[in-house]
Amino acid sequence: MRMVRNVAMALVVLASATMANAASFVWYETANVNGNGAAGAAGGAQGTTLNLNCDTSGPAGSCSWVITMRAALGAGGITGYSADLRTASAAVSASNAATAAGNPFNNPVFPGTPGSGLNLMFKQAGQSFVPIAPQTLSLHTFTLTKNFTTGEVAITGIQGGPSTDGQIVWGNDAAADYETVGFGPNPATPGLEGTLGALPVITITPTPEPASLSLLALGALAVIRRRAR
């Protein structure tokens, strides 16, 4: 049995009577939003979606980013949590997961279990006895990879929410409650199992974008018509 899940489930009865007022927030950061290796700006901030770029104009290949999961803990403190990433795309995978330096949770049940698709990333850890005090910290890092075909235009959304295990749990022993938590741009809600963020916490946008391709297609059509005349 998973320690953090047990802690969280033990609190579910009390959760119906009272909810923690302070929220925790989770977001994802990277040093380079360009996944093809060229230099680029960093991305990701609290309350936003991490928008990644992948150049699909060349031969089929892959884009990769080193992602850090960040959190600002709510006023009640946190004793345990789990947080997952999932996506409908089987072409997206995670690897090289590791607990971030300075992560104060002393029992990383799953420091970062990587996968793909609906099981893209599962992270679970706990802290015994005394809740972790409110602070902003890094929880873990992993490598995100998107395989693409030449000219691919589909935008990929990655949500914070349940994998097949159905987990988003942030336990708050100090308040005898679940901590409320906001994942990326999603509003803060009680961190109950089975919660799925309605908005993507990470998006992967191909280049050229669909709008750019449409303009190119219109230009090509104009040239063809001109030659036909």
The CATH number of the domain holding residue 216 is 2.60.40.680
**Residue 86 exposed, middle or buried by CB count within 10 Å (0-12, 13-18, 19+):** buried
Residue range(s) defining the domain that contains residue 174: 3-228
Phi, psi of 214 (to 5 degrees): -65, -40
Question: Whose CA is closest to 78, among 102, 45, 104?
Answer: 104
pLDDT digits (tens, 9 = 90+) for 156-195: 999 986 544 545 567 765 555 677 888 899 888 877 777 7
- Looking at the 3D structure of the chain, how many domains does it have? 1
| C-alpha angle 133-186-25 in degrees, rounded to nearest 5 | 10
Rounded CA-CA distance 147/114 in Å is 16
Mean predicted lDDT score pLDDT of the chain: 77
pLDDT digits (tens, 9 = 90+) for 23-70: 889 999 999 999 998 777 999 999 999 999 999 999 999 999 999 999
Among 6-10, 133-137, 165-169, name the one with the lowest average pLDDT. Answer: 6-10
Contact 203, 51 (CB under 8 A): yes
Query: What is the value of pTM for the model shown?
Result: 0.79
